[in-house]
């Protein structure tokens, strides 16, 4: 009946106001849906996960100076030792481990560069790794309290001219233009990692700007993730608005998937975003600190974004708007 009434209303309303009316109908429908979903989420009981995000505020110069590699890791270890023993998960940011670790590593005993396991907590950290073919990767490793390591996650979307040179595989001379750019190898899919203390918590990491790409979070949740974690290092942007913009964009991944997003960064902005997009806490930029919180683990919700549509509605709207603008421009030229 609602759609019949809407169709009749569109037919009756003058042509001039139809676009406005249709827009208001869609906006009202989306708002009502969002309001109802928020109420449903607040009524539900979710398992809880105790987390601690470490921000050691290591400068770019110190982070990439081989003389400080061990000292940098020690800074994170020192802060982690003060975390409550009841915490389930401790997270360090992107590429804390600057020495290359074999990506097939299964225990901390296989590398002297990895930190010792925490007494009772799982530890998720960023590390540089290499494959059996000696290809470097930007990775995330989860170290369990018993010292075993879950299968690594490898960054899927690499930064051009930072982690690889576009077309260098086909035109080798391009790589010589800036021979300081690494030639990293991309991962092929999400990593789904179960946590030790909370069986309902299935973690999937993202690295750097991957939390701005909706499809990666969607793939992770469709594969079974109940918690999303982003490891990043926005120190490159200094005291600009970029780190805050990064956090705001990342918040949409929590809303789209209805999952808690844990963002651990080197210098900021480290923060926790709940499944409704609300901030549960954040650390000041360019400061050393620990962000501790208890977060909900949503296990049952499948949003339209994750279960059905993905990014296609937004793409379709964009294409329709572009096509409409093109047709209108052509008509204007014809009628002149």
Catalytic residues: 94, 155, 208
Give the Cα-Cα-Cα angle 213, 264, 134 (nearest 5 degrees). 70
Closest C-alpha to 216, from 191, 194, 234, 233: 191
Instruction: Quote the DSSP letter at residue 261.
Output: E
Residues facing 77 on adjacent strands: none
Inter-residue contact 152 to 139 (CB < 8 Å): yes
Inter-residue contact 299 to 47 (CB < 8 Å): yes
Closest C-alpha to 139, from 89, 150, 74, 115: 150
Inter-residue contact 275 to 41 (CB < 8 Å): yes
Give, in order, the Cα–Cα distances in Å from 38 to each of 34, 277, 278: 6, 11, 12
Residues facing 123 on adjacent strands: 90, 143
Instruction: Quote the DSSP letter at residue 116.
Output: P
């Amino acid at each position: 009946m609602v759609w019949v009434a809407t169709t009749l209303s569109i037919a009756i309303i003058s042509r001039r106001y139809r676009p406005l009316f249709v827009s208001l109908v869609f906006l009202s429908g989306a708002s009502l849906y969002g309001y109802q979903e928020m109420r449903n989420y607040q009524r539900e009981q979710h398992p809880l996960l105790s987390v601690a995000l470490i921000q050691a505020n290591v400068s770019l110069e110190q982070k990439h100076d081989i003389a400080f590699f061990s000292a940098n890791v020690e800074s994170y270890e020192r802060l982690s030792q003060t975390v409550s023993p009841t915490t389930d998960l401790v997270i360090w940011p992107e590429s804390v481990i600057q020495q290359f670790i074999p990506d097939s590593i299964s225990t901390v005993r296989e590398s002297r560069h990895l930190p010792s396991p925490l007494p009772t907590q799982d530890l998720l950290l960023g590390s540089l790794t290499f494959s059996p073919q000696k290809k470097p990767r930007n990775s995330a490793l989860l170290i369990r309290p018993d010292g075993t390591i879950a299968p690594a996650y490898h960054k899927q979307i690499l930064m051009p001219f930072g982690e690889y040179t576009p077309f260098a595989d086909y035109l080798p001379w391009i790589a010589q233009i800036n021979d300081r750019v690494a030639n990293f190898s991309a991962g092929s899919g999400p990593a789904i990692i179960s946590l030790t203390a909370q069986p309902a918590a299935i973690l999937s990491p993202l690295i750097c700007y991957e939390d701005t790409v909706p499809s990666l979070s969607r793939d992770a949740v469709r594969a079974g993730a109940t918690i999303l974690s982003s490891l990043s290092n926005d120190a490159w942007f200094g005291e600009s608005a970029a780190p805050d913009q990064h956090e705001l964009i990342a918040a949409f991944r929590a809303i789209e998937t209805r999952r808690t997003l844990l963002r651990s960064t080197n210098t900021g902005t480290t923060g926790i975003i709940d499944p409704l997009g609300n901030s549960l806490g954040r650390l000041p930029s360019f400061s050393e600190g620990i962000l501790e919180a208890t977060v909900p683990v949503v296990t049952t919700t499948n949003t339209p974004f994750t279960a059905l549509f993905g990014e296609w509605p937004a793409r379709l709207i964009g294409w329709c708007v572009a096509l409409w603008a093109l047709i209108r421009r052509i008509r204007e030229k014809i009628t002149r």
